[in-house]
Structure 1
Amino acid sequence: MPKKIIIAMVCLLLTLEIASFICLWGLGLSNTPYPWSLFVLFRFGYYGLCAGALLCASLPFILAACYLKGGFIRWLSGIVLLCLVLSVTASIVGVFIYQWWSQETFNNIAELIAFLQELSEEPEPLRRFIGCELAGFFLVFALPMHALFERFRPGNKVLGNAHFANGYEIQKADFFKKKEESLIIGKKYGVPLYSNGFEHVLVFAPSGSGKTRSIAIPNLFNYPYSVVCNDVKLTLFETTSGYRQKVLGHECYCFAPTHPEGRTHRFNPLASISKDVNHRMTDIQRTAHILIPDNPKGDVIWTQASRKLFKCLTLYLLDTPERRTTLGEMNRLIKQQQFDVWLQDLLDNTDHLDPEFYRNGYSYINNHEKTRSSILESFSGYLELFDDPFIDSATSASDFDFKELRRKKMTIYVGFTDDDMERLAPLLTLFWQQLISAMIREIPDLKKEPYPLLCLIDEFSSLGRIERLRRSLKLLREYRVRCILMFQYIAQTYEKYSQDEAKAFTNIKTKVAFTTEDLGDAEFISKMLGTKTQRVANESTSLQAQGISNSHGKNYQAVPLMRPEAIMKIPAENTLIMRSGFPSVKAEQFIWYKEKLKCLQEPALNLQINEIHRNAFKREVLTDRSLCALL
Structure 2
Amino acid sequence: MFRRELKANKFFQKPGRGFVVAKMGSPNSRAKFLCSASFPHCLMVAPTGSGKGINFVVPNLLLFSGSAVVLDVKGENFELTSRHRRSMGDKIWRFAPLDWGKPSHRYNPLDRITALPDPDQRQMEIRLLAELFLQTEDDSMKGLLDGGIDLFVACGIFAMERGKATLGEIYRLASAGGDKQKQYLTYADRVKSPAARLMFERLASTNDRTLTSYLSLLMTSGLSLWSNPAIDRATETSDFSFHDFRRTPQTAYFVAPPHDKIKALAPLVRLFFSDLLSSLHTHEPKSDEPWPVMIMLDEFDMLGRMPIVADSIKTLRSYGGHLAIVTQTIPALDKIYGEDTRMSLQGGAGVKIYLAPADPRTKAELSAAVGKTTHRVTSRSKTIGKGPFSGINVSERTEDRDLLPEDEAGRLHEDTVIILANGQHPIKATRIKYFDDRLLKPIFLAQKGQLPAPDPKDAAIRDLQGNLVRAVAQIDDLSNQVQTIAQQRSRIRPVLPEGLISQVQNKENGGDNSGSSRDAINENIQEPRVPKRMRKVNMSIRPDDLVGSGDDNVRALIQTTVKVDKITPDDDGAAVAAAE
Equivalent position of 2:12 in the other structure: 176
Q: Deviations over 1:347-398 (max 9, x none)?
A: 24x3x62111211100100111222222222223231111222212111211
SS in 1 for 2:113: coil
Q: Which moved more, 1:179-188 or 1:200-209?
A: 179-188
CA distance in 2, matches of 1:214, 1:622: 71
- 1:332 paired to 2:172: yes
Task: Letter of the 1:459 partner, please give it.
Answer: E
Q: Which moved more, 1:614-623 or 1:516-525?
A: 614-623
Contact 1:292 1:306 survives alignment (8 Å): no
Contact 1:238 1:605 survives alignment (8 Å): no
SS in 2 for 1:498: helix
Q: Deviations over 1:454-486 (max 9, x none)?
A: 111111122122211211211111112111111
1:170-209 matched pairs, under 5 angstroms: 170-178=6-14, 180-189=16-25, 190-197=31-38, 199-209=40-50
Equivalent position of 2:60 in the other structure: 219
Q: Which moved more, 1:592-601 or 1:330-339?
A: 330-339
Measured after TM superposition, the shift of residue 542 of structure 1 is: 5.7
SS in 2 for 1:257: coil
- 1:472 paired to 2:315: no
Q: Deviations over 1:72-127 (max 9, x none)?
A: xxxxxxxxxxxxxxxxxxxxxxxxxxxxxxxxxxxxxxxxxxxxxxxxxxxxxxxx
Q: Deviations over 1:485-527 (max 9, x none)?
A: 1111011101211111111222232111111211211111111
Q: Deviations over 1:404-434 (max 9, x none)?
A: 1111101111111223211111111111111
Equivalent position of 2:134 in the other structure: 292
1:495 to 330, 335, 341: 335
Q: Which moved more, 1:494-503 or 1:374-383?
A: 374-383
Measured after TM superposition, the shift of residue 549 of structure 1 is: 5.5
CA distance in 1, matches of 2:434, 2:243: 31
Task: Letter of the 2:105 partner, please give it.
Answer: H
2:210 to 363, 371, 376: 371
**Structure 1 pair 317/369, CA: closer, same or farther in 2 (3 Å)?**
same
SS in 1 for 2:404: coil
Measured after TM superposition, the shift of residue 571 of structure 1 is: 1.1
1:89-100 matched pairs, under 5 angstroms: none
**Structure 1 pair 176/342, CA: closer, same or farther in 2 (3 Å)?**
same
2:359 to 518, 525, 529: 518
Gaps of 5+ in 1: 1-164
Equivalent position of 2:453 in the other structure: 606
1:542-581 matched pairs, under 5 angstroms: 546=387, 550-581=392-423
SS in 2 for 1:249: coil
Measured after TM superposition, the shift of residue 543 of structure 1 is: 7.0
Measured after TM superposition, the shift of residue 606 of structure 1 is: 2.5
SS in 1 for 2:424: coil
CA distance in 2, matches of 1:339, 1:444: 49
**Structure 1 pair 167/194, CA: closer, same or farther in 2 (3 Å)?**
same
1:384 to 208, 224, 239: 224
SS in 1 for 2:364: helix
SS in 1 for 2:440: helix
1:120-139 matched pairs, under 5 angstroms: none
Normalised by the size of structure 2, how large is the TM-score? 0.74
- 1:354 paired to 2:193: yes
**Structure 1 pair 501/224, CA: closer, same or farther in 2 (3 Å)?**
same
Measured after TM superposition, the shift of residue 187 of structure 1 is: 0.8
Measured after TM superposition, the shift of residue 535 of structure 1 is: 0.9
- 1:233 paired to 2:111: no
- 1:305 paired to 2:147: yes
**Structure 1 pair 313/587, CA: closer, same or farther in 2 (3 Å)?**
same
**Structure 1 pair 262/330, CA: closer, same or farther in 2 (3 Å)?**
farther
Contact 1:183 1:222 survives alignment (8 Å): no
1:263 to 88, 100, 103: 103
Task: Letter of the 1:589 partner, please give it.
Answer: R
Equivalent position of 1:14 in the other structure: none
Q: Deviations over 1:249-296 (max 9, x none)?
A: 001111112111142111112222143224211211211211334766
2:273 to 432, 438, 444: 432
Measured after TM superposition, the shift of residue 339 of structure 1 is: 5.3
Equivalent position of 1:81 in the other structure: none
Across the aligned residues of Structure 1 and Structure 2, the Cα RMSD in angstroms comes to: 2.7
Equivalent position of 1:248 in the other structure: 88
Contact 2:187 2:200 survives alignment (8 Å): no
**Structure 1 pair 201/345, CA: closer, same or farther in 2 (3 Å)?**
closer
Task: Letter of the 1:305 partner, please give it.
Answer: G
CA distance in 1, matches of 2:292, 2:179: 46
Identity %: 25
Task: Letter of the 2:58 partner, please give it.
Answer: I
Contact 1:175 1:194 survives alignment (8 Å): yes
Q: Which moved more, 1:388-397 or 1:221-230?
A: 388-397
CA distance in 1, matches of 2:248, 2:101: 30
Task: Letter of the 1:607 partner, please give it.
Answer: P
Task: Letter of the 1:174 partner, please give it.
Answer: K
Gaps of 5+ in 2: 26-30, 482-532, 538-565, 569-580
**Structure 1 pair 626/559, CA: closer, same or farther in 2 (3 Å)?**
farther
Normalised by the size of structure 1, how large is the TM-score? 0.68
Measured after TM superposition, the shift of residue 319 of structure 1 is: 0.6
Contact 2:296 2:323 survives alignment (8 Å): yes
SS in 1 for 2:48: coil
Task: Letter of the 1:215 partner, please give it.
Answer: F
SS in 1 for 2:243: helix
CA distance in 2, matches of 1:587, 1:186: 6
CA distance in 1, matches of 2:436, 2:567: 74
CA distance in 1, matches of 2:56, 2:386: 69
Measured after TM superposition, the shift of residue 626 of structure 1 is: 9.1
Structure with greater helix percent? 1
CA distance in 2, matches of 1:549, 1:354: 97
CA distance in 2, matches of 1:370, 1:299: 15
CA distance in 1, matches of 2:384, 2:185: 97
**Structure 1 pair 506/544, CA: closer, same or farther in 2 (3 Å)?**
farther
Contact 1:169 1:583 survives alignment (8 Å): no
Contact 1:576 1:587 survives alignment (8 Å): yes
**Structure 1 pair 579/320, CA: closer, same or farther in 2 (3 Å)?**
same
Contact 2:372 2:402 survives alignment (8 Å): yes
